[in-house]
Structure 1
Amino acid sequence: MIKSLYVRLILMFVASVMASVFLSFFMTHFLFSHKLRSYVQDNLVVSGKTIIESYKNSYPNHLDTLMGGITALPIFTIIVYDEQGRPLHETDKVAKHKLIVDEENLRSVLNGGVFRGGMGKEYDRLVVGLPFQIEGHAYALFIKPETNDVATLAVGYFRMQLFLVVFIGTLLVIVTSRYIVRPLKHLTLATRNMAKGDFSIRLATKSRDEIGELTASFNQMAQELDSLERVRRQFVSDVSHEIQSPLTSIKGFTMALKQKKMDEESRLRLLTIIEEESDRLSRLTQDLLKLSALEHDQIQPNMSQYRLDEQLKDVMIASEPLWSNKNIQLNLDLEPVVISADEDKLSQLWTNLLSNAIKFTEPGGMISINLIASQHSVTVSVADSGVGIPEEELHHIFKPFYKIDQARVRAVGGNGIGLSIVKRIIELHGGEIRVESAVGKGTTMNVMLPLVLPNKYNKV
């Protein structure tokens, strides 16, 4: 089996040229051979009549001179028969090319018929037989064009032309195929390097054809894989850091409990810290599992219809200990709306957004939750009067473990995964989230969701 694309291109070209030439030859022969034969025979009839008139005019004294002149013509072979079927005059080419007329066709012409070649195997298809009379005696003139030498030259010309077409075409294909195959070889080499983990490779191209599009797609894929690899490494680093921090605390306080004598109050304080760090580690692992399941579509929405405004009220009530302890004023402006979605997932979504707003709102601040419905969608806005987010940080906040102010995050708690889960839940429902924020003026999270879950999740 030929595996090289380069060789296959050349063989396909040669085969295509040969097939095209032969098919064209046979189709042309089929379509025009009859017309060509008729055209030549018609001209032979006209030439034959002219020869007959000259023959009559030269009879009987100048026949030898006439036939000598005709014999000198290189394009005709001629033979004249009398009424007994005897050849009276014939050119020198007759013996060479064996123009033989059988008795049946000879008698047909002597009786006044016109013969056109192709009736017998011994006859050239271009032979023409014409009758004529002199002084009451019947004669027959048979004439055919002398095409053998011309045909030989034509066939030789055709063969040489075919050979040159195939040869020159093959040379051109060898050169052009290398030009076509070269970027594919570069792509193959780059793919092998990428398989080894080198995502920094890029291929230069100026072409705008399919090969150029393929190269551009490869570069885009390499860039996305490179970005994904950097995100993966950063994610592993962040996870390791987030897990290592509580583990270090747990280990340190455990060693303190084992090595030092302390009063009951100090012992309980250390045990409380260990418990809090364990809870923090547990929440982190749970959030990671949720994010992983959402990222890989392992969780399918459990669709149901329910009142979205009632759900938002329930989330607000469930979070009351958090916002009431900070003396935060909570304002609700909710339209009654029935939505078709995953109730548990959206409950987690609103809980994360509200918890985030409470964390970063100063005591005595204000949080507003608004619900507005349109014909096909709803918009939920969660606005706080907190510290706000710098504009250059807005497009980073949905990345896992991304924290704007590390010191402040440690003070208020959190692992930086909550907004990543929020964004994935929104995407799972075919919605989008937009963030408006200014430092010192607070943040508004606008969540747009369709009233009906995307078709791919509808149950039939």
Structure 2
Amino acid sequence: MAQENMIKSGKRIIQSLEQSKSTNIDAFLNGVAVLPNFRVHIYNQDKKSVYYEDGGSGSDNDNTSQVSNTQIEQVLKGGIYRGEHEPGSFVIGLPFKKNNKSYALFISPELNRSLAEVRYMLLTVLIIVLVVGSLLILLAARYIVKPMRQLTEATRQMAKGDFQINIHSKRRDEIGVLTASFNEMAGELHMLDQMRRDFVNNVSHEIQSPLASITGFTKALKEKQMDEVSRQRYLTIIEEESQRLSRISTNLLRLSTLQIEQHPLHPHPFQLAEQLRRTVIASEPQWSMKKMEMILNLEEVIINGDEDQLSQVWINLLSNSIKFSPEHTSIAISLTATEKMVIVTIEDNGQGIPDEELHQIWIPFYKVDKSRDNRVKGSGLGLSIVKRIIDIHQGDIQINSQLGQGTLITIKLPIM
């Protein structure tokens, strides 16, 4: 392909020479633009050089001078010469006539100039690549490294206990997803930290109250002279507060055990209706004292579950319904079964729960009664234990309540 181009270029020079009126070849060619990056050598019919041009390179190294007299004579006789005198350096010989005289035109590429242009082009490309690459690196540093530095700094702050961190980002790529996940994690940790603080405060409050009562009444017994009735009353209060402490510690231990991920279940088939009836009978002193009516509508159904744990569920829920219901009201307990699950409902006519507090009742130590009235016994752990037991059994519990109109509790448990 390169040789064909050289032949075409040589023929254009010959055509220009043949069409010109000048008899001096050297003067004519010096007055026109000869092919750049090519060496042109012209020999006359006596095999003598009449013109030489190095294509503007200024090089003294002339590949065309390496042609022999035999090759020059071949071209003068009308032949076309193609040869390679050096690796990659072609020489083309073309015949032409001027003023009835034969001439031989030899063309070869000017390698030095071509290489210089290639080097210049490569250097230019390299500089452009370096400049563009540097700009891309700067953009990458701003677009990628900066948010990573923000995440690193936020992680350090989180390690120091500061969970109120929120990194603003509008990105939709992987870094944006990572930032959103980090913000979500920080929010969850902040919530857990707040729950931990509240838990410690609640435990302290729940324990401190009975301890203060026990300490106060014990001092009164030691320092005051009192009749037997007062002494018995003080001792009864001390006993009740001691039992209250025992219940708190027992419930804390039970809740801690239930919250272990690998908490062992001991399921076996048993009659759920019979268990509910036993729970109602066991709580008779409570609802009889308030002259309440218990309405039971129970289907006979056998489920596979941990009987002891589920018994704790019914005791806690029924105790709450009795505790927060006025006298001379009723509590309705129903048990129905479908093909795959049982549904237990407990409905009372108690004081109800405000809508804004329904989602918080599962939190340990949370009480709807903000005053924590000691006359209403309880530690606020019962519903937390109930929720955990239902979750372990892969069931579901829902509470619907309206303030002043009672509460409906719905529990769904798989049969097997």
TM-score past 0.5 threshold: yes
Matched ranges for 1:130-145 at <5 A: 142-145=106-109
Tell me the distance in 1 between the aligned counterparts of 2:13 and 2:201: 107
1:315-342 per-position Cα deviation (integer Å, ceiling 9, x unaligned): 3333334334433322222334443433
In terms of mean alpha carbon deviation, does 74-83 or 142-151 score higher?
74-83
Contact 2:80 2:95 (C-alpha < 8 Å) held by counterparts: no
1:270-316 per-position Cα deviation (integer Å, ceiling 9, x unaligned): 33332222111011011112222333435233344444334333333
* Residue aligning to 1:91: 52
Relative to structure 1, the CA distance from residue 45 to residue 233 in structure 2 (aligned partners, 3 Å threshold; closer, same or farther) is same
Contact 2:43 2:51 (C-alpha < 8 Å) held by counterparts: no
Equivalent AA in structure 2 for residue 302 of structure 1: H
Larger % of helix: which? 1
Cα offset, 1:188, TM superposition: 3.1
Contact 2:295 2:333 (C-alpha < 8 Å) held by counterparts: yes
* Residue aligning to 1:364: 328
Matched ranges for 1:304-453 at <5 A: 304-405=268-369, 409-451=373-415
1:108-139 per-position Cα deviation (integer Å, ceiling 9, x unaligned): x889786364xx6x2434x14457799xxx99
1:287 aligns with 2:248: no
Cα offset, 1:245, TM superposition: 1.3
Runs of at least 5 residues in structure 1 that lack an aligned partner in the other structure: 1-37, 453-460
Structure 2 counterpart SS, 1:239:
helix
Cα offset, 1:69, TM superposition: 4.6
Equivalent AA in structure 1 for residue 4 of structure 2: D
Aligned residues: CA RMSD: 4.0
Cα offset, 1:259, TM superposition: 2.9
Relative to structure 1, the CA distance from residue 271 to residue 88 in structure 2 (aligned partners, 3 Å threshold; closer, same or farther) is same
Contact 1:403 1:409 (C-alpha < 8 Å) held by counterparts: no
Tell me the distance in 1 between the aligned counterparts of 2:15 and 2:168: 81
Contact 1:80 1:88 (C-alpha < 8 Å) held by counterparts: yes
Equivalent AA in structure 2 for residue 93 of structure 1: D
Contact 1:83 1:139 (C-alpha < 8 Å) held by counterparts: yes
1:45 aligns with 2:45: no
Tell me the distance in 1 between the aligned counterparts of 2:263 and 2:297: 31
Equivalent AA in structure 2 for residue 318 of structure 1: A
Equivalent AA in structure 1 for residue 311 of structure 2: S
Equivalent AA in structure 1 for residue 134 of structure 2: T
Structure 2 counterpart SS, 1:410:
coil
Tell me the distance in 2 between the aligned counterparts of 1:320 and 1:90: 130
Relative to structure 1, the CA distance from residue 315 to residue 81 in structure 2 (aligned partners, 3 Å threshold; closer, same or farther) is farther
1:168-191 per-position Cα deviation (integer Å, ceiling 9, x unaligned): 541453366235433433333333
Structure 2 counterpart SS, 1:91:
strand
Tell me the distance in 2 between the aligned counterparts of 1:341 and 1:115: 99
Equivalent AA in structure 2 for residue 435 of structure 1: I
Equivalent AA in structure 2 for residue 382 of structure 1: I
Equivalent AA in structure 2 for residue 295 of structure 1: Q
Contact 1:79 1:87 (C-alpha < 8 Å) held by counterparts: no
Matched ranges for 1:252-263 at <5 A: 252-262=216-226
Tell me the distance in 2 between the aligned counterparts of 1:376 and 1:83: 113
Contact 2:364 2:380 (C-alpha < 8 Å) held by counterparts: yes
Relative to structure 1, the CA distance from residue 151 to residue 243 in structure 2 (aligned partners, 3 Å threshold; closer, same or farther) is same
TM-score when scaled to structure 1?
0.72
Contact 2:9 2:35 (C-alpha < 8 Å) held by counterparts: no
Equivalent AA in structure 2 for residue 115 of structure 1: R
Q: Percent identity?
A: 45
In terms of mean alpha carbon deviation, does 143-152 or 417-426 score higher?
143-152
Equivalent AA in structure 2 for residue 422 of structure 1: V
Tell me the distance in 2 between the aligned counterparts of 1:342 and 1:324: 29
Structure 2 counterpart SS, 1:381:
strand
Contact 2:14 2:96 (C-alpha < 8 Å) held by counterparts: no
Equivalent AA in structure 2 for residue 146 of structure 1: E
Equivalent AA in structure 2 for residue 441 of structure 1: Q
- Size of the aligned set, in residue pairs, is 402
1:181 aligns with 2:145: yes
TM-score when scaled to structure 2?
0.79
Relative to structure 1, the CA distance from residue 51 to residue 238 in structure 2 (aligned partners, 3 Å threshold; closer, same or farther) is closer
Relative to structure 1, the CA distance from residue 50 to residue 180 in structure 2 (aligned partners, 3 Å threshold; closer, same or farther) is closer
1:190 aligns with 2:154: yes
Relative to structure 1, the CA distance from residue 78 to residue 123 in structure 2 (aligned partners, 3 Å threshold; closer, same or farther) is farther
Contact 1:129 1:140 (C-alpha < 8 Å) held by counterparts: no
Structure 2 counterpart SS, 1:378:
strand
1:115 aligns with 2:79: no
Structure 1 counterpart SS, 2:107:
strand
Tell me the distance in 2 between the aligned counterparts of 1:83 and 1:449: 115
In terms of mean alpha carbon deviation, does 439-448 or 304-313 score higher?
304-313
Equivalent AA in structure 1 for residue 305 of structure 2: A
Contact 2:41 2:53 (C-alpha < 8 Å) held by counterparts: no
Tell me the distance in 1 between the aligned counterparts of 2:341 and 2:165: 44
Structure 2 counterpart SS, 1:389:
coil
Tell me the distance in 2 between the aligned counterparts of 1:322 and 1:83: 137
Runs of at least 5 residues in structure 2 that lack an aligned partner in the other structure: none
Tell me the distance in 1 between the aligned counterparts of 2:337 and 2:27: 111
Contact 1:352 1:418 (C-alpha < 8 Å) held by counterparts: yes
Contact 1:106 1:140 (C-alpha < 8 Å) held by counterparts: no
